[in-house]
Amino acid sequence: MEVDSNATRGEEGLILGGKRNDDAGDDENVEKNEFKEPSTDVDVEVPRIGINFASQQETRCYYEKYASQKGFGVRKISTKRNIDGQSSYYSLACVKGGKQKSTAKSRFISRLSIKTDCKAKINVIVDGDGQCTISRVLLDHNHALSPKISRFQRSRRKLDSYSKRRVELNDLASIPLDKNSHSVASEVGESENLAFGEKDCGNYIAEVEQLKLTIGDAEALCNYFVRMQRRNSNFFYVIDMDEEGRLRNVFWADARSRAAYESFGDVLFFDTTYLTNKYDMSLTTFVGVNHHGQPILYGCGLLSREDVGAYDWLFRSWLECMHGRPPNAIITDQCKMIQAAVAEVFPSSRHRLCLWHIMKKLPEKLGGLAQYKAIEKILKGAVYESLNPQEFEESWSKMIEEFNFEKNEWLSSLFVDSHRWVPIYVKKVFWAGLSTTQRNESMDAFLDDYVSSKTSLKQFVEQYDSALKSKVDRENKADYCSSNST
């Protein structure tokens, strides 16, 4: 199982971002021309049917260079996957594709939109070896193109390694953000030569601060992993670094968790409700149920950002830890990024959205409406009392029409995903009681006695053993009661 090439496993060299590497090489050793965008003086070949590429990355790079030269942005759409979960077909299109939809909650609030229903795109077929071939080309745009301002497109706003280093050093010297980006621009003559702006510099500095741990936290994490693996060689951990050698993502699972999954791995509950606010890193848990109906832990992860790439890395690390055996069924929160990662890594697993989490959001999403009580009654009736899919769809449509919810995005997304959470669609799959509204709330409170918004990473790893021992004691007590009573 392939996991991120920047990941550190087991007892191999552990390098944590405990502090910024301020003396790692002189600035003179960094080539200043690194940060310049690839030259667009040489015309990029116009897309045509039949052009081949070695990979999806190479295809994307080619089309983005062409788009940069012409003056439009690029987005990926219409991905289709084969039975193995791998991409077999996708499209790279102009960012102005699609129809304009208002997301404003009030008719008095205007929202800008870049959509013009532009049809320009290329279709790409991916064969079994990962090679890509352009199968269809649409070149005409229905809007003006401007190569001079294409650097503002999101797909082009990137900081290269030299610019990152320069921005970091300026920040360490307490140079204000506006002057920070201007100082980089001055080295290339003018800001038009930069592929990023002041906001991008600010986002990068925020990310650096987010990934930077104190020395105590880095040492605590390192010492805990080494100590646990010396105690039991089946302790598993993976550490993912960014390009600058700073901690980005972490996953670990103790030997008992791995053994428990062998017996109770039918259903997996992936929880993202914990958050260590001090570093803005999400603490995620992989949870299951034992033979007493008690929650058991299958591993923990720390993510510096919550996007498809991070979840994909985490799921692949967990799957490697569990010897490549995916769960029969997996339950997650309603998050498009998690759903995409599950489809990529666990294509054979039945994926369900947590009913408890969805119903818990009703007051938040609809509670402000005058007819909330009536809406809640009808919605719950459709969800819990429908005897077949047709009855559910009829009840849902009646509610949407009666309360004019045609433009409610949350309800629309719920209906699209109804086959993943409405009981009538998922009742034939074994879920171990994990996704009912009556399920044990201790599933969400698995680590509540040990984690709070103020808990530091060092404090958490020191208390992690205590949390696991507490769960083991509860299981042993339940074993005793089961064998000594009838």
**Domains of the chain as residue ranges with CATH:** 50-156 (no CATH), 215-354+421-468 (3.30.420)
Output the pTM of the full model: 0.58
What's the pLDDT score for residue 451? 63
What's the pLDDT score for residue 343? 92
pLDDT by residue for the chain (486 residues), tens only, comes to 444 445 555 533 333 333 333 333 333 333 333 333 444 456 788 999 999 999 888 999 899 889 888 888 888 887 777 666 677 889 999 988 887 766 555 555 666 777 888 999 999 999 888 899 999 999 999 988 877 665 556 655 565 565 666 666 666 555 665 555 556 555 544 545 555 555 666 565 555 544 444 545 666 677 778 878 888 889 999 888 777 667 788 899 988 899 999 999 899 989 876 555 455 567 788 988 888 888 888 998 888 888 899 999 999 999 999 999 999 999 998 888 999 999 999 999 999 998 888 988 899 899 888 899 999 999 999 999 999 999 999 999 999 999 999 888 899 999 999 999 999 999 888 888 776 544 444 444 556 666 666 666 666 766 777 777 777 878 888 887 888 777
What's the pLDDT score for residue 449? 64
What's the pLDDT score for residue 38? 42
Q: Give the bridge partners for 363, in sequence order.
A: none
